[in-house]
């Protein structure tokens, strides 16, 4: 990579191509160091908590919501469409509500009710979305592609999202540059305009890394650009395919979604349409792991098994029994009568699709902490995604981490698994703590759950319906005391 503009820590991490951390070469206007964004959460607001009494067996069925990550990029893509777009199966989670407010800040009409979002982008009157919203979520930055391609200009703040690594945006910048945009960073915002004064122009561009967000942003941009675009080394994630399906339904011409190369013929106009967001494979995987960690049996639908085959294979190798009764239903069983008393640990290494999803790494680690034998987890997508390790250790398991690798010494060491007070620091890390709490003896208190609310719809209600003892307390820290006998709420 020529350079990496780091949007979370706002420093430039060394890379093999830039070992000395030289200033970026993208444009003479890019500063060497950027000051941090203001914090996104209000520390005066009382933080809700989850209180989990572990040990309950789960049973029954759970409905899987629409994919958060698909919905984020598809909502950004509505900017490319004239007329009204109606999206169904949209998960009602805080990231999506933030994205809806980002679109509204541009002037789009957005109605988001239950799981349906209706967007009319005809009324967009600004090319500068609210920086506060964009700064909260990674998906907020995706609007730069649609805005540039439709209006020939955009001013977009640096994105937020989970704090799991440096998360640069260099591939977006270089890709949009290849399509004829000029971009510079000023006042912590990317200021971009089409160099021909009109709009983007199709081109060939090869990504150095198959970034999901950069692929999606460039695909949207190329769909309305003049002429043909070939993007190579693109992300092959199911969410990229979902976005391609949506854009195609709106009139775009895209071939190759799901492969490493995309061929896009730019269209003069795209038209709003109706589309149902694909099921969330990460939520599905999290519930599969909930069944596994509690040694229970549950069924899940709708789910596209091929989007989660990595986890199915790994859980099967551990000794779980996974069967599919229909195309979109799975039953996951880890009950001792069917699977034996001991489940075996395994190794995972995260990677771009079809590799093991990084978004399931923390939850899988929680499960591995309850298995027999030594397991190894290697995080290769984000350089700082083991923040949950120190919190998981509070439950008792021995976990050693070094760099991006963790060794999980399973049950054989005689370690017990006991409830604890833990803090979620990011979305999936937070879910790993919930899973650990479900399996632990006694009571677990999880704080920082606004991170979990970013991406799991009705999480505690879904777990309660399966028989878990999970409660949300909206009170401040002081108002809720955990005793060894249960939970007492003071005034
Ligand atoms: C909203 C959304 O869809 N989020 C998902 C998306 O994030 P996101 O799109 O941010 O993830 P990317 O695929 O871009 O990131 C993967 C790797 O590429 C690097 N990179 C990325 C862009 C860039 O310009 N330069 C660069 O070097 C990142 O630092 C990271 O190491 O895909 C990730 C990987 O599956 C998931 O964990 C996130 O849940
Ligand atoms: C990392 C994630 O999301 P984001 O990219 O929005 O931070 C996630 O969904 O696990």
Write out pLDDT tens, residues 354-394: 999 999 999 999 999 999 999 999 999 999 999 999 999 99
pLDDT digits (tens, 9 = 90+) for 290-316: 999 999 999 999 999 999 999 999 999
Distance 254 CA to ligand 2 centre (A): 25
Interface ipTM above 0.95: yes
Minimum-distance ligand 1 atom for the alpha carbon of 95 = 1
Q: If you take atom 2 of ligand 2, which residue's CA is the nearest one?
A: 162
Picking from 241, 276, 311, the residue at the C-terminal end of a domain is: 276
Q: Pick 80 or 5 by higher pLDDT.
A: 80
Does residue 453's CB lie within 6 angstroms of at least one atom of ligand 2?
A: no
pLDDT (0 to 100) of residue 400? 96
Does residue 139's CB lie within 6 angstroms of at least one atom of ligand 1?
A: yes
pLDDT digits (tens, 9 = 90+) for 318-351: 999 999 988 999 999 999 999 998 899 999 999 9
Distance 487 CA to ligand 2 centre (A): 32
Task: Identify whether residues 60 and 94 lie together within a single domain.
Answer: no
Task: Identify whether residues 462 and 338 lie together within a single domain.
Answer: yes
Task: Identify whether residues 246 and 393 lie together within a single domain.
Answer: no
Write out the residue range of the structural domain in which residue 457 sits: 49-64+279-489
Q: If you take atom 8 of ligand 1, which residue's CA is the nearest one?
A: 213
Task: Identify whether residues 241 and 318 lie together within a single domain.
Answer: no
Task: Identify whether residues 211 and 289 lie together within a single domain.
Answer: no
How many domains in the chain? 2
pLDDT (0 to 100) of residue 325? 83
> Which residue among 80, 81, 113, 162 is the active-site one?
162
Residues 250 and 248: their CA atoms lie apart, in Å, by 5
Picking from 276, 303, 323, the residue at the C-terminal end of a domain is: 276
Task: Identify whether residues 269 and 290 lie together within a single domain.
Answer: no
110 in a structural domain? yes
Task: Identify whether residues 239 and 309 lie together within a single domain.
Answer: no
Does residue 288's CB lie within 6 angstroms of at least one atom of ligand 2?
A: no
Task: Identify whether residues 326 and 466 lie together within a single domain.
Answer: yes
Does residue 137's CB lie within 6 angstroms of at least one atom of ligand 2?
A: yes
Residues 37 and 160: their CA atoms lie apart, in Å, by 9
Does residue 447's CB lie within 6 angstroms of at least one atom of ligand 1?
A: no
Does residue 273's CB lie within 6 angstroms of at least one atom of ligand 1?
A: no
* Ligand located closest to 429 CA: 2
pLDDT (0 to 100) of residue 409? 92
382 in a structural domain? yes
Tell me the pLDDT band of 491, cut-offs 50, 70 and 90: very low
37 in a structural domain? no
Residues 380 and 292: their CA atoms lie apart, in Å, by 24
Minimum-distance ligand 2 atom for the alpha carbon of 68 = 9
Tell me the pLDDT band of 478, cut-offs 50, 70 and 90: very low
Task: Identify whether residues 80 and 204 lie together within a single domain.
Answer: yes
Verify cis geometry, omega within 30 degrees of 0, for the bond prior to 302.
yes
Picking from 276, 305, 330, the residue at the C-terminal end of a domain is: 276
CATH code of residue 81: 3.65.10.10
Does residue 207's CB lie within 6 angstroms of at least one atom of ligand 1?
A: no
Q: If you take atom 36 of ligand 1, which residue's CA is the nearest one?
A: 359
339 in a structural domain? yes
Tell me the pLDDT band of 47, cut-offs 50, 70 and 90: confident
Tokens of 9: 């820590």
Give the mutation target among 9, 381, 385, 452 for probing the ligand 1 site: most ligand atoms within 8 A of CB.
Answer: 381
Does residue 72's CB lie within 6 angstroms of at least one atom of ligand 1?
A: yes
23 in a structural domain? no
1 in a structural domain? no
Distance 209 CA to ligand 1 centre (A): 9
Residues 410 and 396: their CA atoms lie apart, in Å, by 10
Distance 391 CA to ligand 2 centre (A): 19
2 in a structural domain? no
Task: Identify whether residues 217 and 320 lie together within a single domain.
Answer: no
Q: If you take atom 6 of ligand 1, which residue's CA is the nearest one?
A: 212
Does residue 161's CB lie within 6 angstroms of at least one atom of ligand 2?
A: yes
Distance 289 CA to ligand 2 centre (A): 18
pLDDT score of 10 more than 60: no
Q: Which of 340, 328, 294, 343 is nearest to 467 (CA)?
A: 294
Residues 388 and 37: their CA atoms lie apart, in Å, by 23
Q: Examine the residue annotation and report whether 162 is marked as an active-site residue of this protein.
A: yes
What secondary structure letter does DSSP report for 48?
P
Whole-prediction pTM: 0.90
* Ligand located closest to 455 CA: 2
Minimum-distance ligand 2 atom for the alpha carbon of 427 = 10
pLDDT digits (tens, 9 = 90+) for 409-456: 987 555 679 999 999 999 999 999 999 999 999 999 999 999 999 999
The DSSP string of 322-381 is EEEEETTEEEEE--HHHH-S-PBP--EEB-STTSB-GGGHHHHHHHHTTSBSEEEEE--S
Q: Pick 44 or 25 by higher pLDDT.
A: 44
Task: Identify whether residues 392 and 266 lie together within a single domain.
Answer: no
Tell how strand 480-483 and strand 486-489 pair up. antiparallel
Tell how strand 443-447 and strand 253-255 pair up. unpaired
Does residue 167's CB lie within 6 angstroms of at least one atom of ligand 1?
A: yes
pLDDT (0 to 100) of residue 411? 78
pLDDT (0 to 100) of residue 7? 45
Paired with 185 in beta bridges are 190
Task: Identify whether residues 233 and 115 lie together within a single domain.
Answer: yes
């Amino acid at each position: 990579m020529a350079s990496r503009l780091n949007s979370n820590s706002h420093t430039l991490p060394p890379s093999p191509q830039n070992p000395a951390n030289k200033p970026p070469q993208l444009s003479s206007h890019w500063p060497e160091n950027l000051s941090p964004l203001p914090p996104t959460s209000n520390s005066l607001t009382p933080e809700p908590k989850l209180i989990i009494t572990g040990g309950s067996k789960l049973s029954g069925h759970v409905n899987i919501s629409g994919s958060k990550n698909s919905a984020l990029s598809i909502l950004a893509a509505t900017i490319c469409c004239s007329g009204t777009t109606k999206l169904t199966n949209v998960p009602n989670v805080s990231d999506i509500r933030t994205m809806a407010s980002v679109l509204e800040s541009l002037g789009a009409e957005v109605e988001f009710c239950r799981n349906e979002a209706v967007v009319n982008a005809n009324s967009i009157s600004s090319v500068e979305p609210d920086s506060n919203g964009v700064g909260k979520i990674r998906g907020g930055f995706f609007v730069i592609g649609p805005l540039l391609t439709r209006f020939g200009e955009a001013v977009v703040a640096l994105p937020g999202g989970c704090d799991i690594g440096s998360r640069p945006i260099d591939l977006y910048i270089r890709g949009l540059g290849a399509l004829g945009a000029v971009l510079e960073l000023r006042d912590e915002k990317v200021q971009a305009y089409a160099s021909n004064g009109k709009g983007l122009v199709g081109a060939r561009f090869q990504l150095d890394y198959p970034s999901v967000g950069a692929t999606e942003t460039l695909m949207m941009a190329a769909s309305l650009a003049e002429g043909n675009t070939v993007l190579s080394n693109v992300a092959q994630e199911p969410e990229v395919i979902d976005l391609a399906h949506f854009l195609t339904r709106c009139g775009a011409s895209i071939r190759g979604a799901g492969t490493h190369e995309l061929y896009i013929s730019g269209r003069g106009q795209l038209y709003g349409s109706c589309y149902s967001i694909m099921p969330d494979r990460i939520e599905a995987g999290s519930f599969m792991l909930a069944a596994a960690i509690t040694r229970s049996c549950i069924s899940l639908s709708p789910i596209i098994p091929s989007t989660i085959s990595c986890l199915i294979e790994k859980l099967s190798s551990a000794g779980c029994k996974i069967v599919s009764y229909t195309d979109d239903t799975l039953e996951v069983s880890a009950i001792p009568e069917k699977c034996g008393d001991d489940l075996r640990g395994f190794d995972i290494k995260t990677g771009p699709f079809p590799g093991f999803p990084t978004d399931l790494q923390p939850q899988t680690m929680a499960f591995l902490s309850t298995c027999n034998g030594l397991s190894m987890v290697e995080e290769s997508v984000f350089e700082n995604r083991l923040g949950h390790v120190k919190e998981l250790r509070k439950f008792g398991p021995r976990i050693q981490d070094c760099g991006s690798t963790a060794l999980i010494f399973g049950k054989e060491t005689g370690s017990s698994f006991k409830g604890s007070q833990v803090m979620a620091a990011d979305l999936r890390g937070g879910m790993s703590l919930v899973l650990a709490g479900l399996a632990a003896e006694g009571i677990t208190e999880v704080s920082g759950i606004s991170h979990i609310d970013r991406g799991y719809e009705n999480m505690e209600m879904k777990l309660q319906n399966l028989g878990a003892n999970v409660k949300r307390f909206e009170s401040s820290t002081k108002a809720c005391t955990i005793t060894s006998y249960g939970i007492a709420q003071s005034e």
